[in-house]
Structure 1
Amino acid sequence: MLKLAENANMSHWQERVDMAAAFRWTARLNMHEAVANHFSLAVNDDGTQFLMNANQQHFSRIKASDLLLLDANDPATMDAPNAPDPTAWGLHGSIHRLCPHARCVMHVHSIHATVLACLKDSTLPPLDQNAATFYGRQVVDEGYGGLAFDDEGARCAALLTDPKVKTMIMGNHGVLVIGDTVADTFNRLYYFERAAETYIRALQTGQPLRILPHDVAEKTAQELDEYPGQADRHLNELKAILDDEKSDYAS
């Protein structure tokens, strides 16, 4: 099993810093759930070696040096003294093993995404510009089978084989998003929660919804796919705020 290094000279340092910033900001937005959620990031070409948060550590305390470096193909991972959470290993390990295009994986039980996941129809419709981001780029997991140990993780990974699909609404569970980088994935996670909140609040009015037509929704999704640099700027601004606050996330 790959070992966690002891200092800031450890491998993949910038990736660790980006991950730590994403953890800290997710906690600040109250999109985490106690110590139950996990982010991971592939660091080798085939995606099987990945960084992930340690077992039972609160997002608001995670530092770059805390992240575990794991190998999805190592059967001895869960026997190690610093083994990850078994459900995180089952879900994230399976995705990194079976979906090499999923470079970064973020899974949370954020409030509005989870409300959406509890509806009979958990699809997010193109209700506004944010929601249009996910038009034709989401999948709903209709087969929740309990905690995400190995078999359940592999079942979930099988729903992400289409590289166009970047968001999985996990029925009765939460949401999982994938992306190319930490910035790309966190940006998608942020906007999904915002879009889900808008949709849930719109449903609460009881008024008819103004849903975008297919051609406009797809055009908007494509334009947002190609919007230059927004995800990187988003994460860089969050890191700048943390730096101004003298946060220890990058240590």
Structure 2
Amino acid sequence: MTPLVLITGASSGIGQAMALHYAQQGYRLALVARRSEALQSWLDAQSIPGDKQAVYCADVADVRQMADMAQACIAQQGLPDVVIANAGISIGVDTSVPEDLPVMARVLATNVMGVAATLGPFIAPMVARGSGTLVGMGSVAGIRGLPGHGAYCASKAAVISYCESLRGELRPSGVKVVTLCPGYIATPLTQNNQYTMPFLMPPEVFAQKAAQAIAAGCSYRVIPWQMGVVAKLLRLLPNALFDRLFAGRPHKPRVTDTGN
């Protein structure tokens, strides 16, 4: 049977680019997004046949919705070969401002619990089958905490650790766990950044390289590789030097800054 890939956050950015890449590679698509109508319109514009795709409307932060989505996907299309927990949001926060704490909770709910809620329902069926690949979308931002990015950096650090734990748990089962850590990718998530973004990569290039890493069963991959080198160097910097290096760097826009 034609392989099936499930992707969350598929209505824009990395998720959309990966959906198009997998469609071009002959995969069937199970795509999850809150904006299901916009996603279906995009699929129609790409002329992807109806028997090759299905759209599921769900919020990854809602565990019940995601469990229902998984059941519907398995019933309608079968158990996916690859599940990519891609959905995420990036909003600047200032935790000294009480109004920003609910924003941080929202980021963590989407970026961390959303990954667990996406992968969780497929673990037991994949283990029973003895195969499958679960993919968590981390970020280079999860390697060190950046000023003004506390929510996003914390969420991606949690994703990296969660996937590492899950990989160890599933090691004997035949189910692979892949952690992808994008650097700067030219998507709506980064378009409002007011700072230099080295090695900025088009989403379609990221999608190709990510799919190659997933197919190879890589446990952990930073894309582009240059950002992996940068991340390792930043991790090695003493805290005092790291703090001086990023002092005065523009922060990620807060909700009140962007009007969201």
Which of the pair is proportionally richer in helix?
Answer: 2
Give yes or no for TM over 0.5: no
Please, what TM-score do these two structures have when normalized by structure 1? 0.28
Please, what TM-score do these two structures have when normalized by structure 2? 0.27
